[in-house]
Structure 1
Amino acid sequence: MTRIDIDKLAGILRDAAKAEILPRFRHLEPEQVRRKSEAIDLVTEADEEAERFIKGKVAALAPDALFVGEESVAADPALLARLAEADLAIVVDPIDGTANFAAGLPLFAVMAAVVSGGETVAGVIYDPMGDDFMLAEKGSGTWRVRADGERTKLAFAAPKPLAQMVGLASVAFLPPDRRPEILANLAKARMFANYRCAGHEYRTLVSGFADFAAYSKLMPWDHLAGALMVQEAGGYAARLDGEPYLPRHVDGGLIVAADRSTWEALRREVFTL
């Protein structure tokens, strides 16, 4: 169990979405959307205001916790390095899938992870459009929580042969010289897609509707909550070198699969970095 009430943290994310995100959905003016590192890396007024809202509420919920938000790190990159040493931290992505949000596509999420002693111990992924949560605490499973409070325990899909697998793969951050090879290898699977929203990809995985996922860029606000949910739902997640994925990692790639054997097959047959 965590030292933070995960249900209260989930409620903060929901309140932020109601107050700062949904009122701006499909109502953004051009000056409220800015490019960060490249054309597909955006930040909006909704991201910034939602993070400000969440940070204020988290300060009351857990005053001793280090707050690591995506937009906070954009303003102060040194903040990210403190995560590995923090006794307690809350890592937040105010809008995961900002490019979708800015384009008016209803596929975005609000995410938070709780890190204690360098380990992810809880995670929340909230879908503002569906108004429900995926929640996980270490050792307690992964659950879907509806707006009315109904809880359903979730499970990763059973292992299957590569040719029958449905995958979720982000190739945007792959080395350009390896991208054609990996794209060709992905044809060995039944199909693959990319939602441009890690939060919804992890929701799909822990609901049993996809068999694997792979990522190259590992920013903690994108993957800590989801990777924990995968493991608590019975799946397997590890970096490309086989080592565990930890909050301090920002590179090294990540493969998510049903079990270790499936992970090894994907590493060998598809993601041969």
Structure 2
Amino acid sequence: MLSVDMDKVTEIIREVSAKEIAPRFGQLEKGDIDTKTHAMDLVTIADTEAERVLTKRFCDLLPGSVALGEEAAHADPKLPERVFGEDAPIWIIDPVDGTKNFAHHKQPFRCMVALYHGDETIAAWIVDPIEGSATVAEKGAGTYHNAAPVRVRSDIQAAKDAKGFLISFARDRIRKHYGHIDFFDEIAHYSCCGAEYQEIARGLFDFCAYRNLKPWDHAPGTLLVREAGGVAKYITADRSNEYHANGNAPGLLCASSPELWAEMNELLLPLFE
């Protein structure tokens, strides 16, 4: 398996975040913010500049590699198909995950990176651009937060005991289908999946479910969860479809234990099909 200097990548993300993202937090002018597919789909100068620099730094670090950034893919919709069709290592980059929060001077937001090679995600980084705190994982080597090993709350096996993250789509469908949402101990939504994945990998929350499955949103976080002992699978009837950065399905469910994942999958399956 391809290997990379994990600490060096963390250092690069921190450096670029400190230069291109953190100084712009709360300092954006009107011309620094634009929209993409709809009014709530924002992009800022921090997104574009951070992605530009990260792309160059990572491709220089690993000669022969290519980059798949969120903003580059928006500009060129055929980019994901091309890079996944090659054999080169791929840096999957979300320069500012939680752009809406960032643009409105709110936390959380994160810089997320995954390294994909040999048809799998082999390394992942999620960094807080303001604090510099980092949660990282390498396939087969576990998950670490600020260099300390972390684990999911694997003892949480029932939804009634679980704290988790659900997008508004899921919450609304649960209420409509079941008449209530009182299945869980606690439900939250950060509008930043990177921060949500961190919370699960660190054992602070127990599950998350998503509908929009762009690789830059989920390739980093799913590896963090898996390497911390959790489960990351598509919401499907056969219960066997592991998340893949180049795959697709009606929904994605991550959980801190197989038992919790199975119960949540049964609950969400009729809503995501």
TM-score (norm 2): 0.92
1:156 maps to which residue? 152
2:166 is aligned to: 169
Q: How far off is 1:222 after superposition? A: 0.7
Gaps in structure 1 of 5+ consecutive residues: 146-150
Correspondent of 2:260 among 241, 252, 262: 262
Match of residue 140 from structure 1:
141
Question: In the alignment, what sits opposite 1:244?
Answer: 242
Structure 2 segments unaligned to the other structure (5+ residues): none
Alpha-carbon distance between aligned partners in 1 of 2:109 and 2:194, rounded to the nearest angstrom: 7
Change (3 A) 1:255 1:196: same
Structure 1 residues 210 and 175 mapped into 2: Cα distance closer, same or farther (>3 Å)? Answer: closer
TM-score by length of 1: 0.92
Equivalent residue, structure 2, for 1:16:
16
Pairing 1:217–2:218 present: no
Note the C-alpha offset of 1:105: 0.6
8 Å CA contact 2:111–2:129 kept in 1: the answer is yes
CA RMSD of aligned residues (A): 1.9
Distance in 2, Cα, partners of 1:253 & 1:185: 21
TM-superposed CA distance for 1:142, in Å, is 0.1
Which whole-Å CA distance do the structure 2 matches of 1:116 and 1:15 have between them?
A: 25
SS in 2 for 1:50: helix
Instruction: Note closer, same or farther for the CA distance 1:121–1:183 as it changes in structure 2 (3 Å cut).
Output: farther
Rounded to whole Å, the distance in 1 between the matches of 2:268 and 2:177 is 6
Within 2, Cα distance between the matches of 1:183 and 1:153? 39
Residue 196, structure 1, aligned to residue 165, structure 2: no
Instruction: Give the fraction of aligned pairs with identical amino acids, expressed as a percent.
Output: 35
Q: Which amino acid aligns with 2:217?
A: D
- Do the aligned partners of residues 120 and 68 (structure 1) sit closer, same or farther apart at CA in structure 2, a change above 3 Å counting? same
Q: Which residue of 1 aligns with 2:49?
A: 49
Query: How far is 1:179 from its partner?
Result: 6.1
CA distance in 1, matches of 2:193, 2:268: 20
Indicate if the aligned counterparts of 2:18 and 2:130 stay in contact, CA closer than 8 A: no
Structure 1: which amino acid aligns with 2:52?
Answer: R
CA shift at 1:72, angstroms? 0.6
User: For the Cα contact (< 8 Å) 1:159–1:259, is it kept in 2?
Assistant: yes
Q: For residues 203-225 of structure 1, give each alpha carbon's deviation from its aligned partner in whole angstroms, at most 9, with x where no partner exists.
A: 10011011111011111111111
1:225 counterpart SS class: helix
Provide the rounded CA distance (Å) in 2 between the counterparts of 1:119 and 1:46: 29
CA contact (8 A) 1:16 1:53 kept: yes
1:119 aligns with 2:120: yes
CA distance in 2, matches of 1:111, 1:223: 9
Structure-1 separation of matches of 2:75 and 2:164: 34
